[in-house]
């Protein structure tokens, strides 16, 4: 199996399109300034969605294991666009 791209829509509007290339694909944050932390840009959520596509339960897409609670923005995105 090969993934060509992941398309994320919200209310039928394109939010993000993530193309995949042959070989290893890394999910990183491109810094725009020296002060950017790279936090809260969706790297972990994207990796969880990919895990779900390969048959995980999906719970970890919206649940933050580190803090033991659901991520409200992700829960809302899923519930409002199903």
Q: What is the pTM of this model?
A: 0.54
Number of domains in the chain: 1
Q: Is residue 32 part of a domain?
A: no
3-33 pLDDT, tens per residue? 899 898 888 899 889 899 999 988 777 766 6
Report yes or no: 72 and 65 within 8 Å, Cβ to Cβ.
no
Q: Is residue 69 part of a domain?
A: yes
Q: Is residue 26 part of a domain?
A: no
The highest-confidence range among 13-22, 48-57, 68-77, by mean pLDDT, is: 13-22
Range of the domain at 56: 1-21+42-82
CA distance linking residue 64 with residue 74, whole number of Å: 10
């Amino acid at each position: 199996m090969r993934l060509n791209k992941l398309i994320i829509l919200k209310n039928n509007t394109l939010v993000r399109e993530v193309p995949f290339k042959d070989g290893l694909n890394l999910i990183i944050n491109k810094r725009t300034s020296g002060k950017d932390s790279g936090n809260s840009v969706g790297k972990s959520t994207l990796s969880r969605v990919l895990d779900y596509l390969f048959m995980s339960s999906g719970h970890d897409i919206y649940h933050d294991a580190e803090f033991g609670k659901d991520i409200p923005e992700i829960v809302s995105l899923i519930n409002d666009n199903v």
